[in-house]
Amino acid sequence: MGIIARQATINTLLAYFGIGLGFVNVVFLYPRVLAAEEFGLTRLLVSIATIAAQVAQLGAENTVIRYFPYFRDAARKHRGALAMLLLFGLAMSLLAMLVLWAFHGTLTQVFADRSSLYGTYGLLLLPLVLAEVFFILLRSYSRSLRRTVQPTFIREFVLRALQAALIIAHWKLKLPFGTFMALYTSLFLLCTLTLVLDLKRSGHLQLGWSERWLPRRLRTSMASYTVFTFAASVAGIILGNMDQIMIGAILGDQALTQVAHYAVAFYFGSVIAAPGRALQQVAAPMLADAWKRRDTAMVGQLYRRSAFVQWLASGLLFVLMFTGMEDLFRLLPPSYTGAALVAFIIGLAYLLNSSIGLSASVISMSRSYWLDAFSSLSMVVLNLVLNFFLIRSMGVVGAAWATFISLTAVNGFRTWFLWWRYRLWPFDGRFLLVLALMLALLFITPWIPLTGKPLLDLPLRAMIVAALFIPAANALGLLKEVEEMVKRVRG
């Protein structure tokens, strides 16, 4: 647990530094430097590349984490695991790039808007997909080596810092938009190369091709696991990204502008998921080891603690987001204001998601991994169907409701399954105390008079909410888990 506490804390801090940079990018830079359709194009390309990369790697990310304990042998260069992984990544990324190139004309028609930006710049998807596939696979290898901080630092902090520098350079130097897009794409390649260099510097970039080991029985088991977890790998990235793709495909001439509006609102809402993402990066390999040892007591402990810590942290973030919503959107151009409801719905969806902790990882690392595939595929199908109908009738708000319904329904099923199959349950009475505290703050905070200036009121309100939330949580005995984590970090 000490490893989890230390790395989860560092990952969380890095995630919040990245959120801060992302806030600057999303609120102050992109909407003011780029036209809405240009900003929407960057979001659309990243969304397509992200989903294409997830499909291309066929669930290998989870497979590496689950089966790496069988390969772990530093003296034998981990039995050639990295060499086999990179060869697989090269083959699949080239195949994905070939498919995207072949269907470029079709996609241009699907995402046609009045500016024709996708038709001009859509082939930048090819290097984006290449960068994403290799980053995902190298990140899984790094996480299996208990090196979770480095990929988090590169993706959450370095990438956003470079994007901020690029958009400022674009603003100051008046770069042609084509030059900006080429440089924007190169940042993802640069981050993947940075992860390669980090593994080399640490002595872990050892291919070990001559030591490769993959017996038939293990190969069969890994193939079966990969097939079942493929849907889970895709579903994990579908939410938000698929929404933006379908908005781009359904809403016609204003599609890229609406993608930009939705992307900003989704960013505000999804900030609440940051504690869970940071914890999952560290805990998934630990869960794999625990299930291998059949240590259900350790699994249950990780499950309960992660659920409560995420609920507590996400509850505070939700209060901060909700009470600061008006000021957040006052910082944006007026055309973005209509997306405020999207941010609230997405925030509520991820708040509820945080309450079940590591349920998806607990299932995917267990012998019931098939259930993760089934539930994830159900979430994808439900999200697609709901998006198709709700975006047509409600616009970008419909996409937010599609995410809320699909995420909540499937996570409710996963929670029930873990109780039914393994008697694992994440909740206790403290969850109700946190909920009562959140509701009290949501009622009290709007009555506190502030300056009326968003740039001043946002930090002031954050300090007020924290000053009320943290002492109250401590008085109610809700911070014991957090205090234990802090002690382990210091130790």
Q: Which tokens belong to 320?
A: 């901060």
Look up the pTM and report it. 0.75
| pLDDT tens by residue, 309-320 | 888 888 999 999
- What is the C-alpha to C-alpha distance for residues 9 and 282, in angstroms, rounded to an integer? 10
DSSP assigned state of 273: G
CA–CA distance, 134 with 116 (Å, rounded to integer)? 30
- Report the pLDDT value the prediction gives residue 442, as an integer from 0 to 100: 92
Most confident of 2-6, 100-104, 199-203, 358-362: 100-104
Based on C-alpha coordinates, what's the Rg of the chain? 22
Share of the chain above pLDDT 70, in %: 86
Task: Please give the pLDDT value at position 285.
Answer: 67
Instruction: State how far the Cα of 395 lies from the Cα of 339, in Å rounded to an integer.
Output: 10
Q: Residue 103: what pLDDT? A: 92
* pLDDT score recorded for residue 363: 83
State yes or no: pLDDT of 185 exceeds 90: yes
Q: Which of 342, 442, 445 is nearest to 390 (CA)?
A: 342
Residue 26 belongs to domain spanning: 2-490
Nearest to 123 by CA among 238, 41, 192: 41
Angle at 16 between CA 485 and CA 488, to 5 degrees: 15
Span of 205-214, 447-456, 457-466 with lowest mean pLDDT? 205-214
What is the spatial distance between Cα 249 and Cα 388, in angstroms, rounded to a whole number?
A: 10
The band of 467, judged by pLDDT with boundaries at 50, 70 and 90, is: very high
pLDDT value of position 489: 44
Average pLDDT, the chain: 83
Looking at per-residue pLDDT, the higher value among 218 and 396 belongs to 396
Compute the average pLDDT of residues 247-251: 84
How many domains, in total, are found in the chain?
A: 1
More confident residue, 176 or 23: 176
Over residues 159-172, the pLDDT tens digits come to 999 999 999 999 99
8-28 confidence digits (pLDDT tens): 666 667 777 777 788 788 878
**What is the mean predicted confidence (pLDDT) over 78-87?**
78
Residue 423 has pLDDT above 80, yes or no: yes
Across the range 99-108, mean pLDDT stands at 91
Q: How far apart are CA 478 and CA 262, in angstroms?
A: 35
* Ranges of H-type helices in 271-295: 274-292
Q: What DSSP character marks residue 251? A: S
Q: Give me the pLDDT at residue 176, please.
A: 93
What mean pLDDT do residues 142-155 have?
A: 81
d(CA 287, CA 374): 20
How far apart are the C-alpha atoms of 145 and 322, rounded to whole Å? 38
Q: Residue with structure tokens 């925030």?
A: 347
**Greatest mean pLDDT range, 117-121, 122-126, 153-157, 324-328:** 122-126
Q: Record the tokens describing residue 165, joined without a space.
A: 């520098």
Terminus-to-terminus CA distance in the chain, angstroms? Answer: 12
The sign one gets for the Cα dihedral 156, 162, 168, 171 is negative
- Residue 1's pLDDT band, with cuts at 50, 70 and 90, is very low
Please check the confidence at residue 106 and state whether its pLDDT lies above 70: yes
